[in-house]
Structure 1
Amino acid sequence: MRQSWSSLLFLHWALPAEAIAPLLPDGLEVDTFDGRSYVGLVPFAMAGVRPEGCPAVPWLSNFLEVNVRTYVHHRGSGPGVWFFSLDAANPVAVALARSLWHLPYHRATMRLDRDGESGAISYESRRLGRPKGVGCSVGYRPIGSPREAEPGSLEHFLVERYLMYVSAGGQLRVGQVHHRPYPVQGAELIHLQEDLVAASGISLPDAAPLAHFASGVTVEIFPLEPVGQSSRPSVLPSPT
């Protein structure tokens, strides 16, 4: 699959690893940074979603998404992402992702608005399925200058992930995601209301989340494989 991701807001809360571990399937372990695990809420826009070699179809290929995620590793395949939920505004894309990729997608009504003067972005999502009405409302403003996250930093740990794990028919599978490193910058939160994380069975701390923004990347997504059997590189080479 080929697609583009843009206007990505990464919100992250630190949690004890023991709060996340019981929610993971057998075979996956919580990935931690300085002893802490993280749960993320990531709203963004998708465009040009299509199989390799096929043209994009505007009404099908472009839509909004928000996901709830955490970070995991598997001894045979390496560090990656585990999705608790993914909400998207396109019902066809939701059905295909559920059947072909075994991802926990939900239909939602969604909206993204930009303020041309202030640079602020507002994002709204409300789920149409069960539990009905859960979602998020977030306003934010990108700040600072974009740059690649430094390897070994918390930023890099949170945003640079090139594997996604899914459970399909009781079997753990992994899919590779290729893209250039994100152009990461800070984000100033204007407002945030959300209950998507709680709907995934996770209680958040009272502390404000870490907030990062990335303008976008072009992405390749490869088919799912049983864990431990993939030989593809995990990241494309940097441009010369």
Structure 2
Amino acid sequence: MDSRRWVMSQQLRDVLFLHWPVPEAWLCGHLPPALELDLYKGQAWLSVVLFKARNTHLRGIPALPGMREFLQLNVRTYVRYGMRRGVYFFSMDANSRAAIEAASLGGFLPYRYSRVNMEKQGNQIQFKSSHGKGVQDAEGIELFYRPQEELAELASVERWLLERYCLWTQPKGRLYRLEIGHPPWRIQYVKGEILRNTLAGFLPEQLHRLRPIAHYSTGTDVFFYPPVVEKSVKKH
């Protein structure tokens, strides 16, 4: 974990990870030039992360109205910068305009407002999101799932997908790195069905045609550290 003092914290609850192996060529043109795709044994991956965010606040300041609880959906891939490995977010959807305005840090992160809903019925969770005005053109996902009771014994590729502790963003042409601190994920497998998936609309083929690896966590507390401006490095 970063030794500096964190600047923002957030509680993540009912976290669902969906991971798809995708061709490298689908993603390369959508990254900042300084970043390289991080591959696992030559394979590129794209992930969607769905969760409930609670008590999002700056250090020393209580959570403000609109930041106390909201739903979020992130679309990301795996990247590297020099010797560091982390993630790059294509989009970060949330259903709180106040949270978007505060958490995006003035356009620093790719937040956007979406209609997002999560319902729990017993041990089943339903999640639905939609971004855009037209029903036909809306980008989103609709699914239901049930976490399995036992903790999963994860394969190496699953740990590689889950344990990421920094992200990059490039607002106004300048590349920044944000370090993230939290304990290792405690993961359960899930059973469920994706009813609709039009996320990552820039891909040449919709993700609903592909079967993901799915993971669930009851949640964890996450700490964000001050952003760092990246200096240029030579690509490998």
**TM-score interval w.r.t. the shorter chain?**
0.7 to 0.9
> Is 2:47–2:75's contact at 8 Å kept on the other side of the alignment?
yes
> Is 2:54–2:68's contact at 8 Å kept on the other side of the alignment?
yes
Q: Does 1:145 align with 2:150?
A: yes
- For structure 2, the residue ranges without an aligned partner over 5 or more in a row are 1-7
> Is 1:46–1:64's contact at 8 Å kept on the other side of the alignment?
yes
What percentage of aligned pairs have identical amino acids?
30
Give the TM-score, by structure 2 length: 0.86
Match of 1:232? none
Match of 1:208? 211
Q: Distance in 2 between matches of 1:146 and 1:54?
A: 35
Q: Which amino acid aligns with 1:139?
A: F
Q: Does 1:155 align with 2:158?
A: yes
Q: Does 1:111 align with 2:117?
A: yes
Match of 1:218? 221
Instruction: Select the residue among 11, 16, 20 that pairs with 1:13.
Output: 20
Match of 2:92? 86
> Is 1:148–1:182's contact at 8 Å kept on the other side of the alignment?
no
Q: Which amino acid aligns with 1:42?
A: V
Match of 1:33? 40
Match of 1:122? 126
Q: Distance in 1 between matches of 2:30 and 2:49?
A: 19
Instruction: Select the residue among 44, 53, 57 that pairs with 2:51.
Output: 44
User: How many pairs align?
Assistant: 223
Q: Distance in 1 between matches of 2:22 and 2:189?
A: 21
Cα root mean square deviation, aligned: 2.2
> Is 2:124–2:145's contact at 8 Å kept on the other side of the alignment?
yes
Cα deviation for residue 95 of structure 1 reads 1.9
Cα deviation for residue 207 of structure 1 reads 2.8
Q: Deviations over 1:63-94 (max 9, x none)?
A: 00001110000005x11110011110110111
Give the TM-score, by structure 1 length: 0.85
Q: Which amino acid aligns with 2:93?
A: D
SS in 2 for 1:155: helix
Q: Does 1:133 align with 2:138?
A: yes
Q: Distance in 1 between matches of 2:69 and 2:110?
A: 19
Q: Which amino acid aligns with 1:195?
A: T
SS in 2 for 1:59: coil
Match of 2:174? 171
